[in-house]
Amino acid sequence: MYRIIEKKILNQTVIQLLIEAPLVAKKAQSGQFIILRVDEEGERIPLTVAGTDPILGTVKIIYQVVGATTKKLSLLNEGDYLKDFVGPLGVPTHLEGLGKVCVVGGGVGCAIAMPVAEKLHSMGVDVTSIIGFRNRDLVILEEEFRACSDKLIIMTDDGSYGEHGNVTVPLKEMLDNGEKFDMIITIGPLVMMKYVVETARPFGVPVTVSMNPIMIDGTGMCGGCRLTLNVDGKKVTKFACVDGPDFNGYEVDFDEAFSRSGMYADFERHAYEETCNLYKKEVQ
């Protein structure tokens, strides 16, 4: 059993938990993820590690309430326990040999981008962070990004906070003006990552994308996170959970990934509604 040490509401749908998990805290690196179960009958879901404290033995996870399991998770409080919390899994983000990096995060994907930016900053890398949200109310982790970024740009789709527009707007401006990056690391919705890749393509800047949005069971058995990569003109099949979640953005077939990511949307919505209805009955 894994105790919830701290619970923090970041916005109307995003929650941060601090979990007591000493063994995971000692091993986890930026880019890796864990598998958790809320209770004995719960499904297994992958969540990316958003930070660790090896001394205190704690692991930070940040998630958006979008399905049945994340809804159940949101109902737990400090002092409650999770049934399972297994990891770290996946391949850590490769950060060696970089001098100047642009980290681009979108929405709840910023929870995954932030520890990457923190790690780069601790290594002495010059970090430019661009984080994007639909509106001011959904902005998360601003202070954390400011602390680990040499330059921080906040974008909102409606212009209610920061600058007006999506994350590719300032990225293109910087590249057009001759800004040089050793790497662009982008984490967020699939469509955002695709357009970050296309924005960088004419400039030849290497782009790493995190394909965790399409992961389901996190072990490679379900096949839900299967990816098609175009490597040197040949199609190669990989799994986001065991081979990634990070990949060369220029090699990813994003159109196939879009299709795969929506396969279980109707089922998940139905399960979410059942969970909400069950909770309402319990509190009545």
**What is the reported pTM?**
0.82
For residue 165, is it left (φ>0), alpha (ψ between -120 and 50) or beta? left
Q: What amino acid occupies position 62?
A: I
223-239 residue pLDDT tens:
566 778 888 888 888 87
- Judged by average pLDDT, the poorest of 24-33, 53-62, 205-214, 239-248 is 239-248
Cβ–Cβ < 8 Å for 100, 182: yes
pLDDT at 215: 54
Strand partners, 131: 105, 154
| Residue 274's pLDDT band (cuts 50, 70, 90) | very low
Q: How confident is the model at residue 152 (pLDDT cuts 50, 70, 90)?
A: very high
| Tokens of residue 122, six digits | 């601790």
In sequence order, what are the residues at sequence separation of 6 or more whose Cβ sits closer than 8 angstroms to the Cβ of residue 74? 15, 65
> For residue 90, how many other CB atoms are within 10 A of its CB?
26
SS3 call for 135: coil
pLDDT tier at 199 (50, 70, 90 boundaries)? very high
Question: pLDDT band at residue 132, thresholds of 50, 70 and 90?
Answer: very high
**Could you tell me the domains of the chain?**
2-89 (2.40.30.10), 100-261 (3.40.50.80)
